[in-house]
Amino acid sequence: MKYILNNLQFTKMIKILYENLSEEFNDSNSPIDVSENTGSTENIVVSNAEKQIGVKYKWGGSKPETGFDCSGLVTYVTNLPRQTANGFYNNISLKKIEKTNVKPGDLVFFGSNGKAHHVGIVDSVDEQKNLKSMIHSRGGKDCPGTRTTNNGKNCVVERTTNISWYTPILGYRRL
């Protein structure tokens, strides 16, 4: 039997699971930390992403101890199964969101020809729902762990307002 949950039901379920698991395992490093949030999924995602700002970039990475690539960061802060940016973009369990409905905590995808090559977490939007800032793991050819390595300057999880560098925006998804 399939169950369809709305955001409030999902958030309550996550809180209950977290409380039960944290009591059982006493794991204070779990990425899903609802204790400091208002309870909305988007606040939890943004808050968890903010806690990773400054963590180094690592291609294929999905832990703060070793570093993140863009999809590894999304995996860690959302507790979704590990996928590539394109895998998240095509994941049918994530709701497709039109630009007019984008809000903080949604995922933003960059790419072309229907294929995502980068994913970030929406941090803020303006009144016209244009992306103002996002949190993402900034990688690229100059980052350690990629095919060609330079000094790794600025290869970290960051909040950026330089969105135009990542265009075109392919689309948005919501947990």
Domains in the chain: ranges and CATH: 43-174 (3.90.1720.10)
How much is the pLDDT for 6?
A: 53
Give the single-character DSSP code of 156.
B
- Average pLDDT of the chain? 78
For 127-154, the pLDDT digits (tens) are: 988 889 999 998 765 555 544 444 445 5
Asked which of 5-14, 17-26, 64-73 is least confident by mean pLDDT, the reply is 17-26
Strands annotated E in the chain: 62-63, 67-68, 95-97, 107-112, 115-125, 131-137, 157-160, 169-174
Rounded to an integer, what distance in angstroms lies between the CA atom of residue 61 and that of residue 11? Answer: 27
Q: Which pTM value belongs to this model?
A: 0.72
